[in-house]
Structure 1
């Protein structure tokens, strides 16, 4: 699963929970910016990565690559 996860909210949390229900080990890619959406992020990449990594449903958080969005 991958996403920008800027301004984290309960919808993000629900998506992560549902993703974890479908697998044994959940790796989440965090986009370094939102340029693929034509938007600006408000929270730094490192802080967003740390937030995602701290969620109990997530086994590993990594930097996402542009081709992750294409998939």
Structure 2
């Protein structure tokens, strides 16, 4: 069985945190991480608990969030 999983294109992520704020799952599937101590980027940290509701994908203003198998 193939499981669809959340995916973030780091180069498109602007670090706004909208995906984290709308994630209904606790612990959140996504966390904001510092990259090189300067730029914040969203990172998938708990893909196994994702409910596949895609609220994060809809909230992303740059289209960085998607779901892949």
TM range (shorter): under 0.3
Higher strand share: 2
TM-score (norm 2): 0.28
What's the TM-score once normalised by structure 1's chain length? 0.27
Higher relative helix content: 1
